[in-house]
Amino acid sequence: MTVLSAPGDKIIGERIICQYRKERNSILIRLTGGHRGLRRVIKGLPAEAIVDKPWNIRK
């Protein structure tokens, strides 16, 4: 399993599981087509995120 730990690294998945100790603020953001989403800042020692279900591009 690849571990991404540098600032600016990004993971993409349909379902992502996060484990953390503290959550700062959640911000309501605009997505495409008038949809809304949430952005959260999480903190932990360390905070971890694991892709549970990969993102599949449908053709």
pLDDT in tens, 4-57: 889 999 999 999 999 999 988 899 999 999 999 999 889 988 899 999 999 887
Residue 59: how many CA atoms within 13 Å on its side-chain side? 0
3-state secondary structure of 25: strand
Task: Identify whether the C-beta of residue 47 lies closer than 8 Å to the C-beta of residue 3.
Answer: no
| pTM summary value | 0.69
